[in-house]
Amino acid sequence: MICEGNEFGELLEEIEELEALDGFKVVFVQNLDAERVGFKKLRKIEKEVGMHLKGEAELVDPDIWFGVMKTNERWVFGKYVRNEAVWLHHVKKPHSYSTALSTRVARAVVNIAAPNPEGIKMIDPCCGIGTVLVEALSMGIDIVGSDRNPLILDGVKENIAHFGYKGDVSLKDINDVTDNYDVAVIDLPYNLCSVITNDEQLDMLRSARRFAEKVVIVTLEDVDANIEKAGFKIVDRCEVSKGRFVRQVLVCE
């Protein structure tokens, strides 16, 4: 934020005092917590601010963007940075398979697992081809991954390195995880790749209960009973579809 004012006119006075700068564009930022401003009014606001800035505007290919908005009954003005959907670039991974989580869903699951990621220690102990790992690493989350399938580990590491990230990935069964974590993300792929018994599934969930305080489970089948037996409580849930597959996303504490 560069300057502010109780009234719009006061903000304009502050803007007039700024140094000259060429190649700028001003955009009005809608406040989602307030009444939406109509198109004509917001364009008028943008024009007024631009007229009070010293220098030449550039509306087609600006070198710098400025934003103006009203928030908490005050007008504010500052540099405007548009959010980049980084996850869209992750769709084109070197290695993937049809049953893996989509990049969009993996991103959402990571956000669900760590809505406030600062200082969080996360694990994906059934990491598969690494879709969740790539999303978490791109968000700056401290995450490690492991999987019991030795045939996919090279692909996971290549996926991570392809996007310039660095992550710890190891060959390990979920039942052999020993460290403690704030949260785990567990996509249960075993129902598609191999047959496991109900007892083996319960052992996996009990292992997760041992090393994580919170677990976000992604599953194709009903695992509610085993989650309860493992000592977790389901605090939230939703469903997500991918083709003919309908997955459940379960938040457990």
* CB-CB neighbours of 220 under 10 Å: 16
Q: What single string gives the DSSP state of each residue in 91-110?
A: GS-SS--TTSPPHHHHHHHH
∠ at Cα 171 (205, 106), nearest 5°? 60
CB 160 within 8 A of CB 169: yes
Given the structure tokens 């007229």, which residue do they identify?
Answer: 51
pLDDT for position 72: 85
pTM of the full structure:
0.72
pLDDT for position 123: 98
Residue 13 pLDDT more than 70? Answer: yes
* CB-CB neighbours of 88 under 10 Å: 11
Residue 160 pLDDT more than 90? Answer: yes
